[in-house]
A and B are shown apart, each in its own frame.
Chain A
Amino acid sequence: MSINQTPTDQTRIHTPAPRRRTRLDAQFDRIRAREEAGLARSGSGSRAVRKFLNNRLAVFGLVVFSIILLASILAPILTPYDPNRINLRAILQPPSWEHWFGTDRTGRDLFARVLYGGRISILVGLGSALLAAIIGVLIGVYSGYVGGWLDALAMRVSEIVMAFPQIILVLLLVSILGQSLVNLMLIFTLTGWAGIYRMARARMLSIREEEYVLALRSFGLSRPLIAYKHMLPNALGPIMVNITLSTAAFILQEAGLSFLGLGVPLSIPTWGNILNVAQDIRVLQTAWWIWLPVGAVISLFVLSVNFIGDGLRDATDPSQQG
């Protein structure tokens, strides 16, 4: 919306006055040659990477993110326990050397549940964000460049989707489609594509008028080819930022819905489902190890994703400084 269109994007065009060539000019020519030969992309890529790596918070985020992600993937190596294996003779045990995060009301090892639960929660978050991004970008890039009835339709639909407070729409869809892992990802995708679609479309609209696009068009390249092959890469930065931020949002939403008992079915361990028991006031009061560590893990993971997103934004978007 208009709040994003701050007037800071103005670019000034310098027209160099004719003057004597220097050694610097020769150097500049070489750089330009490289650039024209298409070698400069890796250079600009590494600049973004360097910038990202200089951002301490972003690096911290990346490290935490990797640790939690790897721990989830490597869960069978890290813990001998099966997350669904009960032991009714060892219920509600506080953390110990044997059970790092303690055990829950049926004696399941909570550390194992947090690790295995991470797999599903991250899958839901990242998977839905990627799906939403794919759909949003596919439609956004095409309709942004080509326009037409698809553009008009997608625009209206996205307006409707975005008019809802997200949780209200998600709850409506949950009650319509029912509870399952696949449905939840579907719902997140349905509610999440609009934002990235608008962003991709806006980028396309601004890139559309650039000279290289006009040049490509004059070569007679097909419009989808221009849009997806030549224009899309120039919008990748913000798209990546958007994917990370929606991953964070979806993980938070999965946790919230599962906490309300409206998310992933309880038979599948997820971070939100582990937290679900904290609605029971006695668990809340007497068994902090059931809900506190997993809540901390969710928070830490979402925090790390947000740091990464922020770092990516700073690294890829030159207009965002400080």
Chain B
Amino acid sequence: MSMATIHAVQRRSPFARLRRNGSATASLVLLAGLLLACFSAPLTGAAVGIDATSIDLFNIAAAPSADHPLGTDEIGRDLLMRLLEGGRVSLTVGLAAALSATVIGTLIGLLAGYRGGIADAVLMRLADGVISLPLLPLLIVLAAIDPVKIGLPSELVHSESFSLYRIVIIIALVGWTTTARLVRGTVLSLRERDFIEAARAQGLPPSRILLRHLLPNAASPILVAMTLTIGNVILFESVLSFLGLGIQPPIPSWGNMLTGAQDLISVAPMLAVWPGLLIFAAVIAFNFLGDGLQDALDPRALSQHGR
């Protein structure tokens, strides 16, 4: 990637290109809608007087009605509110985990690419290793260890939302590799360029060169990788939930709602259909968006689509 093309990309607004990509635009709209609905759920719920935790034993697994647009769940809670609440959790976890994985990956990639030599070799072997390992079985071990034994304060471990942090940490620990490779690649390709040489000659400190000159150029692949990661995290959370290692009730997430409803598939199929659909929709939307972003941010993408 030469400087000329990079600037060209920045000039030809990527947003304009993204808008021309139908599925990516649709995904963006869908995701924006989901985010808005989920994060405003407590407010709208309070406004109409429904919340996700009030239980009505006399109204179990009820069909959709005016009070409950999607019906109620197996202990009489409003399904729509639960889905929105669960969405808030799933999306938050997805964003937080993807963000932390990206930050770690970016730092490692910058370090490996800029330093080169042994640091590069070690870090990249590590990335190779992490990528090639059978992750899920390993994650099961990670998810099963007792955090108190590694010295975390027990008040933290014993809080209701600890399962949430745990997932974010686990994903950050293994999800950094793609970003690290991308960033390293960009840094390597730019390291010897004139403008970096010039910056170095001016005596700018490495941290400044890294952050001001190298990082912005790696921004597009990072953004793409992160978008794709969010989708994967949401999917991954559902799989962990299926194995009983995901986000723990009473905190709802799409993953644990789907897992719980699975047992009742023949009794109340809609309880499983809705979270399943939402996971599917959100993940596919993130994938389309990531793909669209890639096309929009990568100048060569145009010819790929032959448009």
A complexed with B: no
Q: Which residues from chain B sit less than 8 Å from chain A, CB to CB?
A: none
Q: Which residues from chain A sit less than 8 Å from chain B, CB to CB?
A: none
